[in-house]
Amino acid sequence: MGKIMSRLGKRFFFLQKRELRIVMVGLDSSGKTTILYKLKLGQNVQTVPTIGFNVERVEYKNVNFTVWDVGGQSQIRALWKHYFHNTHGVVFVVDSNDRQRISEARSELHNILSYCEVVGNCVLLVIANKQDVDGAMSIDEIAHKLALHSLPHRRWYIQSASAISGQGLYQGLDWLLTLKSFKSSIKPSSIPPWSCLASWNFSADPCSLPRRTAFICGVACSGDSTRVTQITLDPAGYSGSLTPLISHLTLLTTLDVADNSFSGQIPPSLSSLPHLQSLTLRSNSFSGPIPPSIINLKSLQSLDLSHNSLSGSLPNSMDSLSSLTRIDLSFNRLTGSLPKLLPPNLIELAMKGNSLSGFLYRSTFEKMKQLEVVELSENALAGKIEAWFFSMPALQQVDLANNSFAGVEIGKPVGGESNLVAVNLGFNKIRGLAPANFGAYPVLSFLSLRYNQLRGAIPLDYGQSKSMKRLFLDGNFLVGKPPAGFFGGASVSGSLGDNCLQSCPRSSELCATAQKPSSVCKQAYRGKPRS
């Protein structure tokens, strides 16, 4: 029986006081009194039609709800208006099986809302009772027949319920505490007087109009001004934890607490937010594992957990995150291998600065037709980077530097076309010859193979590339003369130093750093290096 009281709380979470006055009305025989005593006693009580009113106090998590159950007979309805003074909200109970009187219920509902408007901007909860009866109207049908969507500036919610079984009763009072709990989980000493959180005044509804006097920033609401949809905090240095109760903001689309000092674990309850599109916890001190249930966020488009202290391994498969286009888990303490399947619609993949290990498997990436950016540097990835990797159709930027890759293969671009702009493979353990085919990529302007174990001559194709602007081949064992194309009219910057090159003109920026001592080169080649 949790959801009804939860919805009451969800609608009234903005009230600072611990006493809430609720008026429950509806047509006769809709089940108001049965609901009241189910909430009060937790059991079914035989009732008779209410003549006048019943009043009971229902306590939930230190909040007292004083509920006035007002009779629904036609001759009593004219008296309803006298109960709305100092009321925080109205509960309107509808018999979901009473199709004959739904128009009458609509008329009475709109009458009481006009009364409520005079005495205060109280919120509305519609309880669609008797949902367990065969043939009951759905809540969508009831919302339509009651014309709830014609109330653009009224905070309302409709909840399915069964007073007899208890289904839909009692669960949602946590809504009463959601934003208050969010703020109370943050250390008061970390809330500057000029910050967004300092403006949060719970004597007002953050979604009421106008709302800027009580919640100057940090909160955004739905278009009908009924539900919180975004929490975006300023980087004010807030510290504390992230409350699990935030999962009760079920219409939340954006949660952004970046560049603060939050700590503790990421609440697994975040994974139950069905509409969450953007989750940004960047640059805090969150620790512990990434909740495995995060793969349930089907609406998630952007995930940024970078620059924290998260540990443990990634979920084995993340392809269920079909809406995700950007993921950044960089600079944490993550271990283990990459997921077997990554989100298929990713555009940007960033996991640099962790301790990820293992190989790059084709099966992990093969469904990713939109992937443009891969940033996996500063990990412990190994093996060979195979040709299929660079042939991903949308790929533009690759950063695999500072790993333990031992080899690289790259074919020529299919049809001579490729979007590849930048490749950084520096500081690995790549052996063999410098891959000549990089020079065939028509828009490649940045290439770094620095500080590997490359041998042989610099490919002539590098010097003939019309797009190459920055080239770093320093720190290898390359021999011979650099291609003349580096020193003509084209302006190529970077470094060819710390190799075994001959005739590298020191007047060029590319050759500003000295070459290796000849003794080192001879030892590497077991004799005189060949040009």
- Specify whether the CB–CB gap between 318 and 300 falls below 8 A: no
- The pLDDT of 312-319, averaged and rounded, is 95
pLDDT digits (tens, 9 = 90+) for 239-254: 999 988 788 788 899 9
Q: Which of 51-55, 107-111, 156-160, 269-273 has the lowest mean pLDDT?
A: 51-55
- The pLDDT of 510-528, averaged and rounded, is 89
Calculate the alpha carbon distances from 392 to 121, 365, 374, 443, 472 in Å. 56, 8, 11, 15, 24
Binding-site residues from annotation for GTP: 26-33, 72, 129-132
DSSP state of 195: S
| 3-class secondary-structure state, position 357 | strand
CA separation for the pair 92, 124 (Å, rounded)? 7
Q: Report residue 481 as tokens.
A: 């003369």
Number of residues written out for the chain: 531
For 138, phi then psi, to 5°, come to -75, 165
DSSP state of 175: G
Which ranges in 340-410 belong to alpha helices (H)? Answer: 362-365, 387-390
Question: Where exactly are the structural domains of the chain?
Answer: 19-175, 381-530
Contacts of 10 (CB under 8 A, 6+ apart): 157, 172, 174, 175, 176, 178, 248
Helix (H) or strand (E) holding 36: helix 32-41
Nearest to 228 by CA among 190, 265, 181, 165: 181
Contacts of 423 (CB under 8 A, 6+ apart): 390, 397, 398, 438, 444, 446, 447, 448
CATH homologous superfamily of 19-175: P-loop containing nucleotide triphosphate hydrolases (3.40.50.300)
Nearest to 334 by CA among 362, 363, 360, 305: 305
* pLDDT tier, 94 (very low <50, low <70, confident <90, very high otherwise): confident
* pLDDT tier, 175 (very low <50, low <70, confident <90, very high otherwise): very low
Nearest to 365 by CA among 332, 403, 415, 400: 400
CA separation for the pair 324, 233 (Å, rounded)? 22
Calculate the alpha carbon distances from 466 to 422, 433, 463 in Å. 14, 22, 8
Contacts of 360 (CB under 8 A, 6+ apart): 338, 381, 383, 385, 386, 389
Binding-site residues from annotation: 26-33, 50, 72, 129-132
pLDDT digits (tens, 9 = 90+) for 349-408: 999 999 999 999 999 999 999 999 999 999 999 999 999 999 999 999 999 999 999 999
Contacts of 364 (CB under 8 A, 6+ apart): 338, 339, 340, 341, 342
CA separation for the pair 346, 324 (Å, rounded)? 6
CA separation for the pair 346, 89 (Å, rounded)? 45
pLDDT score at 155: 59
Q: Report residue 330 as tokens.
A: 């960089």
Q: Which of 12-21, 28-37, 190-199, 267-276 has the lowest mean pLDDT?
A: 12-21
> How open is the CA angle 240-245-248, to the nearest 5 degrees?
145
| 3-class secondary-structure state, position 340 | coil
Q: Report residue 206 as tokens.
A: 């953050």
Q: Report residue 263 as tokens.
A: 């700590």
CA separation for the pair 200, 216 (Å, rounded)? 7
- Specify whether the CB–CB gap between 137 and 206 falls below 8 A: no
- The pLDDT of 75-89, averaged and rounded, is 54
Nearest to 321 by CA among 279, 266, 285, 360: 279
Q: Which of 231-240, 344-353, 469-478, 501-510 has the lowest mean pLDDT?
A: 501-510
Q: 517 vs 155, which has greater pLDDT?
A: 517
pLDDT score at 236: 92
Selected from 3.30.1780.10, 3.80.10.10, 3.30.390.50, 1.20.1070.10, the CATH number assigned to the domain covering 381-530 reads 3.80.10.10
Active site members: 73
